[in-house]
Structure 1
Amino acid sequence: MKITAAVTNGQGQDFVLEEVELEAPKANEVLVKIVATGVCHTDAVARDAAIAPLPAVLGHEGAGIVEEVGTGVTRLEKGDHVVLSFAHCGYCDNCLTGHPTVCETFNDLNFGGLNDDETHRLSKDGQPLSTFFGQSSFGTYAVAHERNVVKVDKDVDLALLGPLGCGVQTGAGTVLNRLQPQFGSTIAIYGAGAVGLSAIMASKIAGCKTIIAVDVHDSRLEFAKELGATHTFNGAKSDVVKEIKEVTNGGTTYAVDTTGVPPVVRQCLQALRPLGVAAIVGVTPEMNIDVHNDLMAEGKTMMGVIEGDAVPNVFIPQLIEYYKAGQFPFDKLVKFYEFDQINEAFEESKAGKAIKPILRIQ
């Protein structure tokens, strides 16, 4: 079928809306009419650093309505409202033990450019286009394996829900699934973008007593307070480690770094109390740490977390229930754009003018 998609034709190039061909779903796949899709930093990395084969149709926070199901699909039917999340194999040891975010073939399935059966569904003028995260939601329709399609309530605005498939899930899941902070504990969140603010809201749900937000933009720090932060520090204006240790009487028990900035990662380690745990979710380059002083000497733990260590078909409906109960107002992060404003959405996201852009596709 003919669809309209935002095609990334070459590294660093703007997205171009083009007519492309999408094949029908095969066994265990569904065709989804995309209603809206989130704009994520990972899409920008894929465009600018070519971490997936190009040309490609990017996008990996899709939300839409099931239009058609392939053979063998049992959980979904035409008309279902769904959120699309990351691809995973479903049968490796990590998938089978509840950790699909570290699926043994995660990188191949999400960044390799092919669908689950190692073929293409997208093409233009007879030439294949790479699929991204097993969905390619920067299009009017997408084909995805039923494993990474999550059925959601029809009484919630579907256009809001796409970011639950990656960015929001990453921040909230890192706190609720992996760190699991004790009630009344202390936590610091470094970076008050969509991922960090989701972690702040999750920390409030978890019952953390002290929730500290660190960023370099005062406007985002004010917003963090609105969403649950009890203290905020501007990293460009204060000695963050000193300030946090004073406020917490020795450091936080937990920390989440969403920035991927090496000096900030070191700050998050140094501002932990003994036996503290830091979760790193930002894409961080090679860096140096003082293993003895920053970690071992005080029994600290540093861990990497992908996609919030979530099982999307379990966790995304849970987040929606928190949202419906007024405990997880992620809609406050959102700014909507029309599909043909995709390049503007990426520019405003990069400039900090939009926390979580969502493209209305149709």
Structure 2
Amino acid sequence: MRRVRAAVTEAPGAPFTVREAELDDPRPREVLVAMTAVGICHTDLRMRDTWPRQLTPMVFGHEGAGRIEAVGAEVTGLAPGDRVCLTFASCGACEQCVTGHPAYCHAARALNFSGGRADGTTPLSLDGRPLHAGFFGQSSFATHAVVHERGVVKVDSGLSAAVAAPLGCSVQTGAGTVLNRLRPEPGSSLVVLGAGGVGLSALMAAVVAGCDPVVAVDPVASRRALATALGATAALAPGDGLVGALHDLTGGGAHHVVETTGRPEMARRAVGALRPRGDLALLGMGGEVTFDVMGLLAKGVRVHGVIEGDSDPGRFVPELIALHGRGLLPVDKLVTTFPFEDIGAAVTGMRDGTVVKPVLTFG
């Protein structure tokens, strides 16, 4: 048991409040990680606002990076001192895990969204009462986290923690959607709706894959400028005439559209922006979307629902790190760092659009 500091959410929609808490020692297949950085994702905010009251107080955070301080007795391949990136939890034994698609693990809900471990326990406590944790298998809005070994990926000690942190979710989600699921042919057109951390990661991957043109759509001028700097052929605001403009830029409609906003109206416009037999990848968390089925049928549109970039993190995160090392995935250009205690300011910057990927750092 050790004392830690964690950003606690006391009730659904409540602000993050940094509190002193207690963290258990790791179990046989778990590791204890001292956090050096953690990204903030829109998923943290959306889930905080809709989280079940019975699973509060809760610690969120799912883009952690840090250094291993201790390992459980049955952990293999990891050791104290290793620099690591944290990612989502998976069982490793179900059909999806063994075929290389752990993002669709049959036990995903229990391991990532139950407010604790799959057995109902939580490694955190607050003032002697259980503090719910285990968000994406980690709850890394804290100075330390206990994580199952399958959610830990070793990284090079020279890699900045502020770059390593978002690899575990937003970067692998965006880049993986392009490289693992869509797998575009060089010269094919790709449109990204939403130029946040996920969308810009998809854009960078599309440039790596040789897509042309690559077009970004976002209402914030600074994000459109960043998209262009990262290799977009064009960057548009989502105003009237968007679908027509995208048809003009892509020579009759895009081969691929990656929708990251979760807004139903943008998903429908995405279908309009596609050419016949085009691919629509839906990444953004949202509610129901109504499509004109005849429009889908007439175009032969293929709709993909994608979680975590359909990636196997143990394989894919090292590939992302290699691309970064070659200068082809400049994640650092997305990142703005904040001290952990300033989590409120980081959230504000993300919500008002002035920050693309806020990353909290620990002294």
1:34-49 alignment runs, 5 A limit: 34-49=35-50
Counterpart residue number, 1:50: 51
From the superposition, tell whether residues 57 and 27 of structure 1 become closer, same or farther in structure 2 (CA, over 3 Å): same
SS of 2:132's partner is strand
1:341-360 alignment runs, 5 A limit: 341-360=342-361
Cα distance in 1 for partners of 2:52, 2:166 equals 21
Cα distance in 2 for partners of 1:24, 1:166 equals 25
* Deviation (angstroms), 1:159: 3.1
2:206 aligned to 183, 203, 219, which one? Answer: 203
1:1-362 alignment runs, 5 A limit: 1-50=2-51, 53-131=55-133, 132-236=135-239, 238-293=240-295, 295-362=296-363
SS of 1:119's partner is coil
Instruction: List gaps (5 residues or longer) in structure 1.
Output: none
SS of 1:133's partner is helix
Comparing 246-255 and 304-313, the one that deviates more: 246-255
* Matched letter for residue 290 of structure 1: D
Q: Given that residues 267 and 289 in structure 2 are in contact (C-alpha distance below 8 angstroms), is that contact kept between their aligned partners in structure 1?
A: no
SS of 2:190's partner is strand
* Matched letter for residue 299 of structure 1: G
Cα distance in 2 for partners of 1:315, 1:117 equals 29
* Deviation (angstroms), 1:116: 4.2
- What's the TM-score once normalised by structure 1's chain length? 0.97
Q: Given that residues 85 and 164 in structure 2 are in contact (C-alpha distance below 8 angstroms), is that contact kept between their aligned partners in structure 1?
A: yes
Write the deviation string for residues 39-67 of structure 1: whole angstroms up to 9, x where unpaired.
Answer: 11111112211158211111110000000
From the superposition, tell whether residues 51 and 308 of structure 1 become closer, same or farther in structure 2 (CA, over 3 Å): farther
Write the deviation string for residues 76-106 of structure 1: whole angstroms up to 9, x where unpaired.
Answer: 0010000000011111101111111111111
Cα distance in 1 for partners of 2:91, 2:189 equals 36
Q: Given that residues 162 and 337 in structure 2 are in contact (C-alpha distance below 8 angstroms), is that contact kept between their aligned partners in structure 1?
A: no
Write the deviation string for residues 174-201 of structure 1: whole angstroms up to 9, x where unpaired.
Answer: 0000000011111100001111000000
From the superposition, tell whether residues 133 and 303 of structure 1 become closer, same or farther in structure 2 (CA, over 3 Å): same
Q: Given that residues 116 and 145 in structure 1 are in contact (C-alpha distance below 8 angstroms), is that contact kept between their aligned partners in structure 2?
A: no
* Deviation (angstroms), 1:284: 2.2
* Deviation (angstroms), 1:265: 0.5
Write the deviation string for residues 202-233 of structure 1: whole angstroms up to 9, x where unpaired.
Answer: 00000111101111122211110100110222
Q: Given that residues 110 and 117 in structure 2 are in contact (C-alpha distance below 8 angstroms), is that contact kept between their aligned partners in structure 1?
A: no
Cα distance in 2 for partners of 1:43, 1:195 equals 14
Aligned-pair identity in percent equals 47
RMSD over aligned CA atoms reads 1.1
Write the deviation string for residues 224-253 of structure 1: whole angstroms up to 9, x where unpaired.
Answer: 0100110222112x4111111112221011
Instruction: List gaps (5 residues or longer) in structure 2.
Output: none
Cα distance in 1 for partners of 2:64, 2:31 equals 13
Q: Given that residues 86 and 134 in structure 1 are in contact (C-alpha distance below 8 angstroms), is that contact kept between their aligned partners in structure 2?
A: yes
* Matched letter for residue 7 of structure 1: V
Q: How many residues are paired up?
A: 360
* Matched letter for residue 290 of structure 2: N
Cα distance in 2 for partners of 1:351, 1:285 equals 22
Cα distance in 2 for partners of 1:340, 1:155 equals 25
SS of 1:359's partner is strand
